[in-house]
Amino acid sequence: MPSVFTRIIDGELPGTFVWRDDVCVAFMSINPTRAGHCLVVPRAEVDQWTDLDPAIRAHCFEIAGLIAEACRTAFGTERVGLVIAGFEVPHTHLHVIPADAMADLDFARAASSVDPDEVGSHAEAIRSALRARGHDTEVG
């Protein structure tokens, strides 16, 4: 059975995307710890990030870096955290989280629900910052 992330990637479940290419996608978290929290997910359904093909892993980290730069611009944070936990969904995903303090990376503080309009606004801010840096958010 496909993971929930594969179902989002395939359009079976809704997702608010900020990046798509042939190797990975990035979409907004439905349980953010902070405004702008998004997930970079390889299209390949691999449970643990350490098991990813090295080229796919490198590409996901590259895209996470681009999105982190966009988040820092869009949300004016001092830093952008990167967390790979892998317990929630058995499909590799990198949490990219705008942060001013360690508490912003605390999953115990994650929202239980989100306003779709607010998430859409956050996604557009990230896409806009990516485009301003010359990146096409729909690659491939």
DSSP 47-114: SSGGGS-HHHHHHHHHHHHHHHHHHHHHH--SEEEEE----SSSS--EEEEEESSGGGG-GGG--S--
Which tens digits make up the pLDDT trace of 31-46? 999 999 999 999 999 9
For residue 70 the two structure tokens come to 């966009």
The domain ranges of the chain are 4-132
pLDDT digits (tens, 9 = 90+) for 69-125: 999 999 999 999 999 998 889 999 999 999 999 999 999 999 998 999 999 999 999
Q: Is the pLDDT of residue 140 over 60?
A: no
For the 4-132 domain, the top CATH level (class) is alpha beta
- Global confidence as pTM: 0.95
Spatial CA neighbour of 28 closest among 92, 121, 134 = 121
